[in-house]
Structure 1
Amino acid sequence: MTCSPHPATFRLLDAYVGWDQQEAYGIVGFDAPAGLRLAHRGADPEGPTRDRLLPWFPDPRLAPGCGPCGWYLLVPGERRLLRRDGCGGAFTPLWPPDRGPGPPHRPVSVAARGHRLAVVESGRVLVWRREGEQLAGVIPAERPRWAALGPGDEVLVACQGSTDLRRFDSTGGFRGVLRTGVPGEIIGLRTGPERTVWLLTDDGGRLGVHRGGHGRPFRPVTADELAAALPPSTLTSADGNGFCLGEKGPEGPETSCFTWQGRPRDPAPSATDVYETGGSYLTALIDSGISRCRWHRVRVDADVPAGTAVAAEIVVSEDGRYDESDWQLPAPGAADFLVDQPPGRFIRLRLRLSGDGGSTPVVRRIRLDFPRVTSADLLPPAFREDPAADDFTERFLSLFDATLAQLDRVIERYPSLLDPAGVPDRALPWLAGLLGLSFEAGWDARTRRALLAAAPELYRRRGTPWALREAVRIVFGVTPVVDELAVDRRWAWLRQAVGAFGAEWEQGGEGEQGQEPGPGPGRETGPGQGLGAVRLFGRSASRFRVGGTALGAAPLRAFGTPDSDPFTAHAHRFRLLLPAGSADETALRRLVERQAPAHTVGSVRTGGAGFVVGSRSTVGVDTAFVPLPVPVLGGAHPVRLGRDGVLRPGPRGLRRGVGVGVVSAVGMHTQVS
């Protein structure tokens, strides 16, 4: 019912509020958020069925190989292992008769992943590389039943009578035991991305799918969760006579069927007895709390595929007693109808589902409105004097009331369309268009919602390092370092000092040999900084100039005009630094181009192989920063001027020691030993 302090005006029947179930036959899903449906045939009415899980957990004799059409087929009776590579092809022996390891000894099941292959035999598991050309190892096991090949050369083995998984490498080395704690017996095993492990169990005829992994407990999951996490194979059906594969042919989808010996056969007719063909559900007496209540409307929210039907029947009574002839039967297929019953405090609903066995209707929710309130209540009393006419007027105006109510609900929900967390995934591009955002094709819904939620703050601080870092963090999940190259130019610093040096800010005046002039006559001293107090552009320090720069104190550049260096070398330029493999560089560059200010030039740099302080090396233990040996002209290892040595000391004298990130660069002034 409604949770407001006002009197209740409707009653819901669903998995969240409850279905008020009294009797049910052939219908399941009373606790499922998806809704009610017809039960599955067989020992497990709740499902899922074994046929539905075949694409993910095939028969133990089958294993998908490389490519969409690659399959391995184990023939236990003939002790052969067959392989099929291309679409439309036949199964051929994996090992020719004239070479190979010989037939399998009491084969049980087969598993494959990429170019690795595992054959489970009685008492051991054989692991092959290069699609059966190289034997990697033999794993001894007691009554092995299933095997799965995981990432990192890992092999998982499930033995009969145990729900624990034994871990090995391909050579047979034991790695430990993975305890699952799942009920029943494991009848299917496979691995997935992010080192996940998926199990199919049989607990007294009830099938269950469980997901877990290393450091993660196993928990039950639904078939829909399995389908969303793992891509299905092309296996469509399997029975005692063989199996069928659904593949892409030259003229569209086609089905290829084979016997369990690998020979082609005609497609078998598809099974149509997956679900029950009929079921019913009866509620208990639903109390309105109003004496002689006039129940108004019944609405059924359901999906009704072709070949299925849903029918809702109701009866109203004041004391809970009624006859079978009192039931109101709506028109066939009616999912929204008025209650045409005498007033009464209680109502009871009977739901009937029917199908063809191959599909089922799904009822998500049923809503019962009471008491009857229509726009006829706004009419003058003269229009309601005749009871028969009054009843017709109410039913007639209810048609318009229902249409207007739907429009009112759309208007009420319109503000929620601007909520990134509440709109459907398909509405996210539309919402982004309102905000002027564009999405990459590879971004998932979670990334798009996060960008939409952060859009106001990103727009407010657009063009700042924070906005660029935040955009990269949302899209790629890693916070980059924004390196503004302007802070590296030696000729653009406003230095702080207790006694500020005067500066000769004259055209071409820089002092002798690029030295900074000290205090002297006619120059102001004292705390402070600003134009005229410090040098903004030391041209001799940014580019080598004959007659003004000390040897080795500035780089040599043979391009551009020296006078424009302060504006072209580093101004308005930045660099984005990220760890190696953390983002797609092409997509990252596109994002940087869109987020960077128009007057700037940005570049992207990701880490790679090289020297990293603090990762695998410790300064003072296995490495040391030391000055280069004293350079000597000539000899067995002559130095190069301007790089390995200087002819005379700079304005600050000889450099003593090493300061990382201050005056030294690894490979220039230092060596790692």
Structure 2
Amino acid sequence: MTCTPTTGTFRLLDDVVGWDQDAVADLVGFDGPAGVRLAHAGASPDGPTRAELLPWFPDPRLAPGCGPCGWYLLSGKRLLRRDTCDGGWVPVWPSYCDPRLLSAPTAVAARGHRIAVVDSGRVFVWRNEGDHLVAVIGLRHAKVVALAQDEQVLVSREGSDRLWRYGADGRLCEVVRTHVRGEIIGIRTGPGRTIWLLTEEAGRFRIYRDHCESTLDELAAEVPPSGLVRADEDGFCLREPGPDGEVTSCYDWEGQPREEPAPEPGQFVTEGEFTTFRIDSGISRCRWHRVRVTADVPPGTAVTVSIVVSEDGEFADSDWQTAPAGVTDFLVDQPPGRHLTARVRLSGDSSATPVLHRIRLDFPRSTSADLLPAAFRQDPAADDFTERFLSLFDAATAEIDEVVERYPALLDPAGVPDGALPWLAGLLGLSFEAGWDAETRRKLITAAPALYRRRGTPAALKDAIGIVFGVDPVIDELAGDRHWAQVRATAAPPTARGLGSVRLFGRSSSRLRLDTSTLGATPLRAFGDPDSDPLTEHAHRFRVLLPAGAADEEAVRRLVVRQAPAHTKGAVRVGGTGFVVGTRSAVGVDTAFVPLPPPVVGGVRLNHDGVLRPGPRGVRHGVSVGVVSAVGVHTRVS
């Protein structure tokens, strides 16, 4: 599409090629990928500051909840909740139903509809936003708590670098030695079951991702920040969406509104600059063409670039060409010359700093004016205007060319931004749920061709559940449970196989019928047509079996409905801790074998739960594999 006659040559200034800096004043970052930025006003901290980490690791008394305005706050012995951007803080438990469990709470965490609070060597875990207490974890000197995607509870202790993992019911799963430096003071869970840790050692803060040291930029790229922008002894401030844009709301630690405090003294210097060496084009009397700057410029900051072109490196102070502040793309308006010298100035209000990532210098000048007849370029003044005028269109055309060149990359699930994933999924006919993270969406898009080819099969449904929820389900097709018209191997004579005494499509085995069914051998049903039982009882039906706590049952059910064939009907069953009597049970899903209770006499009504004496192998023995056990005699299944 481009109309320029030749491909231009360019020179880059960045951390990979080099900045060619000659004189530097109050700037840092020339050797790192983070970019060139203003230096700190005082001693430069070794690592991120606590204020920079607040959006991801808030004060332990604060925890972000559901939505951009959902927050939880520990105020004394009370736990407060805030759901709307224009509302105040209200107690999680009204006065008439306050459980009064908290005595000296120190930390709170929230995820979805679950809440966890650290209080006096215990960790309380609630569901349904505080309506149902599900676990009480005893851990001395517990300090920080976090809730993971798989309903695990992560706790760290004061002065320790270890991480305690608890299940949804409060049982200890494992104690992990993280091998991080310093004390863990913050825990954050990210997509893909990643765990981010914040540690402090001698005043220095470090970030770890799955026990490997990371950076603030990597954390910001993977985990979205919260609206917490400030926290001190007097209170905290939240930046939230409002009707006319973002607004900042400030509160004290009692949840009462307060005026926004004065800005803290900035941590950066207000101005810094550097000058490059002479950049050699290798072309005598070269006509330098264009300067493009790539930088992050927060409000209140600016990046200003000045250039000067010379043939032998000699120039006067009045020869500098300075672009207006905020302009990051401009044409070189200098006489021809072999060398170019650049001067870059960064400025700010001390609370933030611009970040310079790259400068691109294009040369020699090459525009679509070169395609015009010579008659249009006879007047030097008119020729200069024509070149500068057509350069505007050349720049727009070059941007379109770059978009076209990058278009194939938009079809790569691993390379597109998170915001483009729904668009890419729409091309494949996929739909996402709001709770799925970016990593899960990328895996689904990648696996979509294979899933479509096998759609409607148990293997495809199993793979889809594994990708979304990270569990390996059991697909139980109920058609194999039908007992009508089965050929028996015991028919006489022994050398022949026949139907024997099995009745074809016996109606008495599908539901209880008076005078025909065997008591206790047929189910009681009061719905459906009895004559269609042989066809509708198990035909075209299947079950998805999941271990307890492996995934959200409703979310799995929605996925099964979308993936199952239209003529089938699927059910989802999440295992518990007991044995389902009268239904085929899957070991490890809904079956638990437990030992016998101790023998007792008196106070117990004799039945299958009462044991008068221990069995032949002792009191605390349950089912033994390979030994015949009589249910109700010396075996208890519960």
- Going from structure 1 to structure 2, the CA distance change for 1:392 and 1:11 (only over 3 Å counts) comes to same
Describe the superposition over 1:182-203 as per-residue Cα deviations: whole angstroms up to 9, x where unpaired. Answer: 4xxx698344457764213447
3-state DSSP of counterpart to 1:298: strand
Describe the superposition over 1:271-329 as per-residue Cα deviations: whole angstroms up to 9, x where unpaired. Answer: 25232211112223333344443221111123334432221111223444444333222
- Going from structure 1 to structure 2, the CA distance change for 1:430 and 1:564 (only over 3 Å counts) comes to same
For 2:461 and 2:119, the matched residues in 1 are separated by 47
Q: How does 1:216-365 map to 2 (within 5 A)?
A: 217=211, 219-222=213-216, 225=219, 236-238=230-232, 243-246=234-237, 254-256=249-251, 268-365=261-358
Q: Tell me what 1:410 maps to.
A: 403
Report how far residue 542 of structure 1 moved. 5.0
Q: Contact conserved, 1:308 with 1:356, CA < 8 A, in 2?
A: yes
Structure 1 position 382 matched with structure 2 position 369: no
Q: Tell me what 1:641 maps to.
A: none
3-state DSSP of counterpart to 1:588: helix
For 1:419 and 1:137, the matched residues in 2 are separated by 46
For 1:669 and 1:555, the matched residues in 2 are separated by 24
Report how far residue 543 of structure 1 moved. 4.5
Q: Tell me what 1:208 maps to.
A: 205
Describe the superposition over 1:367-391 as per-residue Cα deviations: whole angstroms up to 9, x where unpaired. Answer: 1112221112212233334444333
- Going from structure 1 to structure 2, the CA distance change for 1:128 and 1:588 (only over 3 Å counts) comes to closer
User: Normalized against structure 1, the TM-score is what?
Assistant: 0.64
> What percentage of residue pairs aligned between the two structures are identical?
48
1:428 aligned residue (399, 418, 421): 421
Describe the superposition over 1:58-103 as per-residue Cα deviations: whole angstroms up to 9, x where unpaired. Answer: 89xx95599733246xxxxxxxxx98968989xxxxxxxxxxxxxx
Structure 1 position 587 matched with structure 2 position 555: yes
3-state DSSP of counterpart to 2:72: coil
3-state DSSP of counterpart to 1:68: strand
Q: Contact conserved, 2:75 with 2:253, CA < 8 A, in 1?
A: no
Which one is further off, 332-341 or 42-51?
42-51
Structure 1 position 474 matched with structure 2 position 467: yes
Describe the superposition over 1:219-238 as per-residue Cα deviations: whole angstroms up to 9, x where unpaired. Answer: 25327727965976968244
Report how far residue 53 of structure 1 moved. 4.3
Q: Tell me what 1:565 maps to.
A: 533
For 1:333 and 1:618, the matched residues in 2 are separated by 68
Q: Which amino acid aligns with 1:70?
A: L
- Going from structure 1 to structure 2, the CA distance change for 1:337 and 1:494 (only over 3 Å counts) comes to farther
3-state DSSP of counterpart to 2:234: strand
Report how far residue 585 of structure 1 moved. 0.8
Report how far residue 586 of structure 1 moved. 0.6
Q: Which amino acid aligns with 2:36?
A: L
Q: Which amino acid aligns with 2:343?
A: R
Q: Tell me what 1:27 maps to.
A: 27
For 1:431 and 1:263, the matched residues in 2 are separated by 45
- Going from structure 1 to structure 2, the CA distance change for 1:669 and 1:19 (only over 3 Å counts) comes to farther
* Larger RCO, structure (CA 8 Å, separation 6 or more): 2
- Going from structure 1 to structure 2, the CA distance change for 1:552 and 1:346 (only over 3 Å counts) comes to farther
User: Normalized against structure 2, the TM-score is what?
Assistant: 0.67
Q: Tell me what 2:11 maps to.
A: 11
Report how far residue 30 of structure 1 moved. 2.9
For 1:181 and 1:601, the matched residues in 2 are separated by 50
Q: Tell me what 2:506 maps to.
A: 539
For 1:266 and 1:514, the matched residues in 2 are separated by 84
Report how far residue 588 of structure 1 moved. 0.9
Report how far residue 246 of structure 1 moved. 2.6
Q: How does 1:448-467 map to 2 (within 5 A)?
A: 448-467=441-460
Q: Tell me what 2:157 maps to.
A: 156
Q: Tell me what 1:609 maps to.
A: 577
- Going from structure 1 to structure 2, the CA distance change for 1:544 and 1:577 (only over 3 Å counts) comes to closer
Q: Tell me what 2:74 maps to.
A: 70
Report how far residue 502 of structure 1 moved. 8.0
Report how far residue 421 of structure 1 moved. 2.2
Q: Which amino acid aligns with 2:206?
A: V
Q: How does 1:385-396 map to 2 (within 5 A)?
A: 385-396=378-389
Q: Contact conserved, 2:154 with 2:163, CA < 8 A, in 1?
A: no
Q: Contact conserved, 2:118 with 2:145, CA < 8 A, in 1?
A: no
3-state DSSP of counterpart to 2:549: coil
Higher alpha-carbon Rg: 1
Describe the superposition over 1:621-661 as per-residue Cα deviations: whole angstroms up to 9, x where unpaired. Answer: 989xxxxxxxxxxxx999xxxxxxxxxxxxxxxxxxxxx9x
- Going from structure 1 to structure 2, the CA distance change for 1:353 and 1:167 (only over 3 Å counts) comes to closer
3-state DSSP of counterpart to 2:464: helix
Describe the superposition over 1:16-72 as per-residue Cα deviations: whole angstroms up to 9, x where unpaired. Answer: 44333333222233345453332332211676344434677789xx95599733246
For 1:85 and 1:538, the matched residues in 2 are separated by 62
Report how far residue 149 of structure 1 moved. 4.2
For 1:316 and 1:392, the matched residues in 2 are separated by 20
Q: Contact conserved, 1:299 with 1:367, CA < 8 A, in 2?
A: yes
RMSD: 5.2
3-state DSSP of counterpart to 1:69: strand
Q: How does 1:134-149 map to 2 (within 5 A)?
A: 148-149=143-144
1:116 aligned residue (115, 118, 122): 118
Q: Contact conserved, 2:542 with 2:571, CA < 8 A, in 1?
A: yes
Structure 1: runs of 5 or more not aligned: 1-5, 73-81, 90-103, 105-109, 119-126, 140-146, 159-163, 170-174, 504-509, 516-536, 624-635, 639-659
Q: Contact conserved, 1:483 with 1:575, CA < 8 A, in 2?
A: yes
